[in-house]
Amino acid sequence: MPKELIPGILDNDTGAISKAITRIENDQRVPDSFFSELHENSSQSIRIGITGPPGSGKSTLTNELIKTCLSSNKTVGVIAVDPTSPFTGGALLGDRVRMNKYLWDDRVFIRSMGSHGDLGGLARKAQEAGDVLAASGKDIILYETIGVGQGEHDVAKAADLTVVILVPESGDEIQLMKAGLIEIADLFVINKSDRDGANRLASLLKNILHNFTARGKIEPPVFNTVANQGQGIIDLFMGIQDHLKLMEGKGMLDNRRLNRYRDRVSDLIRERLEDKFWTEEKRAFLNQATQTLNSIKSAPVIMAQKLLDRQPDEF
């Protein structure tokens, strides 16, 4: 059935795009040939990750970026990924409001995806949803995700470039270093720069970045925005484009895309091998051996090896 959706997707039909992403999200069997056809008919969209702590203004900033994209004649897809939420398909309240705004505008497609409690699966699905949007011809795909630890790293992997949003309250040097955001950011935004401390944070951050950017990497620029007043957005948009050009010139963009392709292949192999491995018999064997804590006789490594070594007829 999803193959029937392909002409619609290639024609940028919102209904077809939406149905395809729903199937991906619900893990309804999507045949490999579906992705193969998308792949053959896709141009290279720019994928931008936008992440930051809860309430830092990701959605507000994303909305502003949508407007800026449109006014520079670029079409845009948004995938709002919330690893903390089990909800799906636009159930996130704030996101529904903005989705309605563009309901009749096929230059914009917005979708939110929840985790179903499966972070690994979510990362794959978000990438595949991006493939659908790329095949529909969207110039720019924005991945918006809440930065709470793990999710944003997966999103950074899905993007050509990652923007990390901080707010003046984001804390001191140690907290920033600990948060692990330094490694994934290509650009920093200090949003809510209408509040005290924005300039202080900007200079602190620039200082850290100057001292800690690894050799051969581009030092991330820092932008100040007031997203709810639309301030600083054009500078940011131009900064993103400049940064992409810089990455492209150094071969970093190609490298990132190649690595993403390789990572996706090995993630799929891991997922498919595991799927094939876990038969009902093996699960039963493991459950049987782990009825109570006292019944466990061997270390996890031994148990895993036992399961790997057994032939199907030994169960």
Ligand X SMILES: Nc1nc2c(ncn2[C@@H]2O[C@H](COP(=O)(O)OP(=O)(O)OP(=O)(O)O)[C@@H](O)[C@H]2O)c(=O)[nH]1
Footprint of ligand X (CB under 6 A)? 52, 54-60, 94, 146, 191-192, 194, 226-228
Q: Is 62 in the site for Mg ion (CB under 5 A)?
A: no
Q: How far is the CB of 206 from ligand X (least distance, A)?
A: 20
The residue with its CB nearest to Mg ion is 59
Instruction: Indicate the residue among 134 and 163 with the shorter CB distance to Mg ion.
Output: 163
Q: How far is the CB of 123 from Mg ion (least distance, A)?
A: 18
Is the Cβ–Cβ distance between 158 and 77 less than 8 Å?
no
- Chosen from Mg ion, ligand X, none, partner binding at 18 (C-beta under 5 to 8 Å by type): none
Instruction: Indicate the residue among 133 and 227 with the shorter CB distance to ligand X.
Output: 227
CA distance 137 to 134: 5
Burial class, 121, CB count within 10 angstroms (exposed 0-12 / middle 13-18 / buried 19+): middle
Print burial letters for 254-280: b (CB count within 10 Å at least 16), e (below 16): eebeeebeeebeebeeeeeeeeeeeee
Instruction: Indicate the residue among 18 and 193 with the shorter CB distance to ligand X.
Output: 193
CA distance 206 to 50: 19
Stretch that binds Mg ion, among 50-58, 151-159, 173-181, 260-268 (CB under 5 A): 50-58
DSSP character at residue 97: H
Q: How far is the CB of 226 from ligand X (least distance, A)?
A: 4
Name every residue whose Cβ is closer than 8 Å to that of residue 232 and which is 6 or more positions away in sequence.
189, 193, 223, 224, 225, 226
- Chosen from Mg ion, ligand X, none, partner binding at 114 (C-beta under 5 to 8 Å by type): none
Q: Taking the CB of residue 222, how many other CB atoms lie within 10 A of it?
A: 20
Q: Is 115 in the site for Mg ion (CB under 5 A)?
A: no
Instruction: Indicate the residue among 42 and 59 with the shorter CB distance to ligand X.
Output: 59
Size of the site for Mg ion (CB under 5 A): 2
Instruction: Indicate the residue among 133 and 165 with the shorter CB distance to Mg ion.
Output: 165
Q: How far is the CB of 81 from ligand X (least distance, A)?
A: 11
- Chosen from ligand X, Mg ion, none, partner binding at 45 (C-beta under 5 to 8 Å by type): none
Instruction: Indicate the residue among 5 and 185 with the shorter CB distance to ligand X.
Output: 185
Stretch that binds Mg ion, among 53-61, 189-197, 264-272, 303-311 (CB under 5 A): 53-61
Output the six-digit token pair for 36: 């193969």
Residues, the chain: 315
Q: Is 63 in the site for Mg ion (CB under 5 A)?
A: no
Q: Is 56 in the site for Mg ion (CB under 5 A)?
A: no
Quickly list DSSP for 259-302: HHHHHHHHHHHHHHHHHHH--HHHHHHHHHHTSSGGG--S-HHH
Stretch that binds Mg ion, among 56-64, 127-135, 194-202, 267-275 (CB under 5 A): 56-64
Q: How far is the CB of 144 from Mg ion (least distance, A)?
A: 7
Phi, psi of 78 (to 5 degrees): -125, 130
Q: How far is the CB of 75 from ligand X (least distance, A)?
A: 22
Alpha helix stretches (DSSP H) within 162-251:
173-178, 181-184, 198-212, 233-249
Instruction: Indicate the residue among 34 and 102 with the shorter CB distance to ligand X.
Output: 102
Q: Is 59 in the site for Mg ion (CB under 5 A)?
A: yes
- Chosen from Mg ion, ligand X, none, partner binding at 57 (C-beta under 5 to 8 Å by type): ligand X
CB pairs under 8 A, 24+ apart, for 263-269? 263/157, 264/124, 264/127, 267/120, 267/123, 267/124, 268/124
Pick from 157, 114, 138, 139: which is nearest to 27 by CA?
114
Q: What residues make contact with Mg ion under the rule CB under 5 A?
A: 58-59
